[in-house]
Amino acid sequence: MTPQNQTDVIVIGAGHNGLVTAAYLAKAGLKVTVVEAAPQIGGAAVTREFVPGYKVSGVAHLLHGLHPAIARDLDLARHGLDLKAQRVETRSLLPGGRSFDTNSIASVSPTDAEAYPAAMARLTRMADALAAYALHTPPRPDAMKMDWQAKLNLGKFAWSLRRLGKKDMLELTRILTMNVNDLANDYFENEAVKGVLCFEGVLGLALGPRSPSTVFNLLYRLSSMGANGQGGFLLPKGGMGSVAQALGMAAQAAGVLIRTGAAVDHILIENDAAAGVVLSTGEEIRALRVVSNADPQRTALQLIGPRNLDTMFVSRIRHMRMNGCVAKIHLALDSLPEALANARGRIVVAPKPDDIERAYDCAKYGRVSDRPALEVTIPTLSDPSLAPAGKHVASIVAQYCPYKLRDTSVNDARHQIGERSLAVLEEVAPGLKQRVSGMEVLTPHDLETQFGMTGGQWHHGEITLDQVLFLRPAGQAQEYRMPVPGVYLCGAGAHPGGNISGAPGYNAAREILKDARAQRRVVGAA
């Protein structure tokens, strides 16, 4: 067997979490091979050409969660990732040519302008307290005992919550299960200001502003926005692919072998334990540890296979909510209308909570939203290299476009979400449609087909209270270990979840190394 076909660890998928796991394992001295089905690394964090001459971030188009400890440990700055000068603000575009950002809320509501800083600071404190457990492994609730490190980590987490103080602790208890529309009504008076807050609470969920658990999603996003050490959002030069490229270079510098164009057919299991992988070509690569960056359903039901798992676990994984509801739209633009000419940051088009709720009402019954809520970036304003000289690209997240369609074909849904999103944008940026020279629309079905996201769910499972911490992804797999010995999860379907944080990959690497050290002690004792 050639050296390429024998290794210590195989990582399936060269998305950002897979690369993080691989880099940490290799730095610890393990021989690691990453196998990636696509011709390039990056997964959802990839920069690619969608029409000739125009490039855009394929799925994720904003960086707001990369943990600073990971960036520091892997020395990503040395590998070309600049996180210093690309922070961007959020601007809400409203009909009639009006707009506002966090510094100009007074233009729509002086009262909310006064209330906004204190309210968001309070929510961010709560979010940061919850995020204190992001780089720790949640314990199994059925465990008879925990080791001292797990107890210490839980104690630190409890202390971070206690440090909020009595008032904020009570407020966190009050709002954690609330819907974000009620929270917005508690904190603000203007519908446009409420609309932005509600949009943050539902983005990525198949839920509306009046659905329970959306405040938790808001807090989750707020904690991620601060994880890069600067707060807010970043537009990396070169698109999100620059993040993946830096991680790939860090992994290779540590000794990781990365093989692209190498699709895994299934995980090889011998004597009820991992023994390697079999590629779609029939080639076998042997290893005693296999780490999957794929989502939990794809990992369990396709790569491992139900016959190698107990019935209860299979049932739990099958019932994990993977309800994709977001479409990604890319526009090639000959020029920019006046409303977008200086839009260097993040644009939100969600004028009122009711607008978002009506958009959700369509999706709830299996239809594309009549008037989608939108998140837009124009990355060429800060990085002209993504388009021909004088031209631009627009990257749009459109919510809602449900994976589970009724009486609508995928092709019709693709056409509808594209046309309806353009119509909404035309209202706040007149003249946009006539400047469009090319367009790509990716529905949740396309995200599943092209990027391997089951159900088109970009977080590998919805971020709701019943699918986080030790409940993510399901019993018997909370600690990154799948029920089959030697098989691990390192992607967004594991704690702490989605975004380009790298935290699941970091945590998975720690648990794998813990198992490797324990095995060496056993072998040494024998």
Please state the rounded mean pLDDT for residues 499-507: 93
Per-residue pLDDT band at 512 (split at 50, 70, 90): very high
Query: How confident is the model over 355-366, as pLDDT tens digits?
Result: 999 999 999 999
pLDDT reading at 2 higher than 70:
no
**Mean pLDDT computed over every residue of the chain:** 91
Most confident among 90-104, 278-292, 466-480 (mean pLDDT): 278-292
Among 440, 513, 522, 399, CA closest to 48: 440
Q: Residue 400 and residue 115: Cα distance in Å, rounded?
A: 30
pLDDT reading at 87 higher than 80:
no
Beta strands across the sheet bearing 90-93: 99-101, 90-93, 346-349, 373-377, 392-399, 326-333, 436-442
Please state the rounded mean pLDDT for residues 295-299: 97
Query: How confident is the model over 413-453, as pLDDT tens digits?
Result: 999 999 999 999 999 999 999 999 999 999 999 999 999 99
How much of the chain, in percent, has pLDDT values that exceed 70?
Answer: 94
**Alpha helices, DSSP H only, in 203-345?**
214-225, 241-253, 296-298, 311-318
- Say what the pLDDT of residue 23 is: 98
Please state the rounded mean pLDDT for residues 290-294: 98
- Say what the pLDDT of residue 522 is: 64
Out of 3.30.460.80, 3.50.50.60, 3.30.750.210, 1.20.140.10, select the CATH number for domain 3-84+237-321+460-525. 3.50.50.60
- Say what the pLDDT of residue 229 is: 41
Please state the rounded mean pLDDT for residues 374-400: 96
Distances (CA, A) of 4 to 265, 279, 513: 18, 13, 22
- Say what the pLDDT of residue 230 is: 43
Please state the rounded mean pLDDT for residues 3-9: 84
Q: Residue 402 and residue 367: Cα distance in Å, rounded?
A: 7
Please state the rounded mean pLDDT for residues 65-92: 86
pLDDT reading at 227 higher than 50:
no
pLDDT reading at 526 higher than 80:
no
Q: What angle, 0 to 180 degrees and rounded to 10, lies between the N-to-C axes of helices 214-225 and 110-131?
A: 80
- Say what the pLDDT of residue 228 is: 40
- Say what the pLDDT of residue 474 is: 86
- Say what the pLDDT of residue 159 is: 76
Per-residue pLDDT band at 161 (split at 50, 70, 90): confident
**Is residue 6 within 8 Å of 286, Cβ to Cβ?**
yes
**Which tokens sit at 366?**
């299996």
- Say what the pLDDT of residue 518 is: 85
pLDDT reading at 354 higher than 70:
yes
- Say what the pLDDT of residue 455 is: 96
Q: Which residues contact 486 (CB under 8 A, 6 or more apart)?
A: 273, 274, 275, 288, 289, 290
Q: Which residues contact 418 (CB under 8 A, 6 or more apart)?
A: 327, 329, 439, 441
Distances (CA, A) of 495 to 23, 103, 373, 450, 508: 19, 34, 28, 24, 9
**Is residue 255 within 8 Å of 32, Cβ to Cβ?**
yes
Place of tokens 């092709």: 411
- Say what the pLDDT of residue 49 is: 95
The alpha carbon of 458 is separated from its chain's Cα centroid by a whole number of angstroms, namely 6
Per-residue pLDDT band at 40 (split at 50, 70, 90): very high
pLDDT reading at 231 higher than 70:
no
Distances (CA, A) of 29 to 32, 256, 293, 362, 516: 9, 10, 21, 52, 11
- Say what the pLDDT of residue 233 is: 83
- Say what the pLDDT of residue 66 is: 87
Q: What is the DSSP letter of 416?
A: H
Q: Residue 329 and residue 411: Cα distance in Å, rounded?
A: 14
Q: What angle, 0 to 180 degrees and rounded to 10, lies between the N-to-C axes of helices 180-187 and 214-225?
A: 70
- Say what the pLDDT of residue 142 is: 58
Q: Which residues contact 495 (CB under 8 A, 6 or more apart)?
A: 137, 138, 468, 469, 470, 472, 478, 480, 503, 504, 507
- Say what the pLDDT of residue 162 is: 80
Place of tokens 């690497």: 509
The answer to whether the pTM exceeds 0.85 is: yes
Please state the rounded mean pLDDT for residues 372-376: 98
Q: How many other β-carbons are positioned within 10 Å of the β-carbon of residue 427?
A: 15
